[in-house]
Structure 1
């Protein structure tokens, strides 16, 4: 079963949750209203979800004049990936992280936090941006932004039902107020599980393709380790306020307390790093851990120990 087919099934499951919530809140009539709501949400997400997410995080667009080094890096990586030049954004946030968004490669954007650009070396930033460009090339960005919008709308629908549809004398509600409470609790949880499955199915592929774009799997491996360590210590308040968008980031921006740690939208960072290290040695992704190369300082260019293809600066 291909990754795209699994993703289509998961998106269908997320839409099905709308119908289930509608039925639980208002019977057949509620299910039809929820279906219309799901269709409208999908249409809105297709055209506007990227702008909405960028605005949510206060992202500011930059060009070659405003951020010459970062913009040129993305430009060269996009050329290596055979992609149109995406719009480039910077988010004023101390937590190192990044994401890509957009409905297709012709209308795509990549965003990196100031924490990413200041805390990581040039090679590590290139590894991260190559990963985000891989999401664009694989057309994951549309899926991920629509999923974020649907999950948020589903939670809103469940809360709406809790506050306005929970009267015990509502004959259209097949389970009464008990059902409304169950929906308010279980619907967001179900959406979280679908997000988790979609994100995990796409991250490994983006890691692999991103390593091929940059030509150095260890750049991304080093970056993932650095981001994971910092994300545990540095809060991202905008992400905490909008947890439905957490799966879009390269590393989970939430602090991983309570339910966040049980239902993480991202695969294990250790496993991702192990697979990337295995690409350097040519060994299978499972088994013993190959020796890790020393970390580099900003500006240094490796000359051995990896694929022969040159990086985005040469």
Structure 2
């Protein structure tokens, strides 16, 4: 019998679609305003877009290098490989590469361009604190990110946000050097560009983070569907969060730049700062997972 939580979460899907639609409309308005002003921002846009797409294309290599994670074989970590193979066998996904980072901070992440070229990575700290079922839940969460192509979605969603930031900076410095009465028109145009670019960047900043939070919920649900053990993933999140609370802040700050990739951000924020976070609060995620578990009985 299929439980209610095993069905597609229509609410989350609708919210993601709404956010992406608003983001698309925002970017269309942004491009339209720039085209109307007739300013030469095309080179900046092309350079920024090329840089972002290159980051996405080489994302697996960049993240692995940055986190000191190494690709491992089934001979080096037989249990880990066998667990990933077991989860993958329940889906139509190809087997990802597996990496391990020697780091006492317990965490995991997925990277890569898509299911055909992806990496699932865990830290040695994570392997030390989780039992097999809990680790299975974490790996299933990361595999769901790969299956849903979340890295690609967030990269593309961030494309014009980054371009807007670059153009805003260009407009700011351009306005500084557009002095004099004959340059007044140019100065006004630069001011409009700054305001439009800033509004685009600010709104897209919050929308992209909302999309990211919804996709974390979606990955939790996907993991529960793959394993049939939502409570085990909830236990894993509790253990990871509790262990990280005991890690010195200076150590957490060294990996804070990779929070968007991790299953749980290295440094938790206040309730207000959750608006700026790429992840929902651990408490809310655990609550949802335990609700799924309760619906099974």
2:131 maps to what in 1?
121
Query: Which residues of structure 1 form unaligned runs of 5+?
Result: 284-305, 307-314
1:57 maps to what in 2?
67
C-alpha displacement of 1:230 = 3.0
Distance of aligned partners of 1:159 and 1:261 in 2 relative to their CA distance in 1, 3 Å threshold:
farther
Distance of aligned partners of 1:45 and 1:5 in 2 relative to their CA distance in 1, 3 Å threshold:
farther
Structure 1 range deviating more: 29-38 or 195-204? 29-38
Distance of aligned partners of 1:57 and 1:77 in 2 relative to their CA distance in 1, 3 Å threshold:
same
- Listed as ranges, the matches of 1:1-314 within 5 Å are 2-3=13-14, 5-6=17-18, 8-9=20-21, 12=24, 28-146=38-156, 164-165=173-174, 167-169=176-178, 171=183, 172-174=186-188, 189-234=202-247, 235-240=251-256, 242=257, 245-256=258-269, 260-282=273-295
> Residue 259 of structure 2: SS of its match in structure 1?
helix
> Residue 284 of structure 2: SS of its match in structure 1?
helix
> Residue 108 of structure 1: SS of its match in structure 2?
strand
> Residue 255 of structure 2: SS of its match in structure 1?
helix
Q: TM-score, normalised by structure 2?
A: 0.75
Contact residue 95 and residue 113 of structure 1 kept, 8 A: yes
Contact residue 164 and residue 198 of structure 2 kept, 8 A: no
Contact residue 234 and residue 290 of structure 2 kept, 8 A: yes
* Per-residue deviation, residues 214-263 of structure 1 (Å, max 9, x unmatched): 221111011112222233443433433x3xx5222211223427985552
Q: TM-score, normalised by structure 1?
A: 0.71
Return the alpha-carbon distance in structure 2 between the equivalents of residues 10 and 118 of structure 1: 43
Greater helix fraction, Structure 1 or Structure 2: 2
Return the alpha-carbon distance in structure 2 between the equivalents of residues 208 and 98 of structure 1: 17
C-alpha displacement of 1:133 = 0.8
Query: Which residues of structure 2 form unaligned runs of 5+?
Result: 1-9
Alignment size in residue pairs: 277
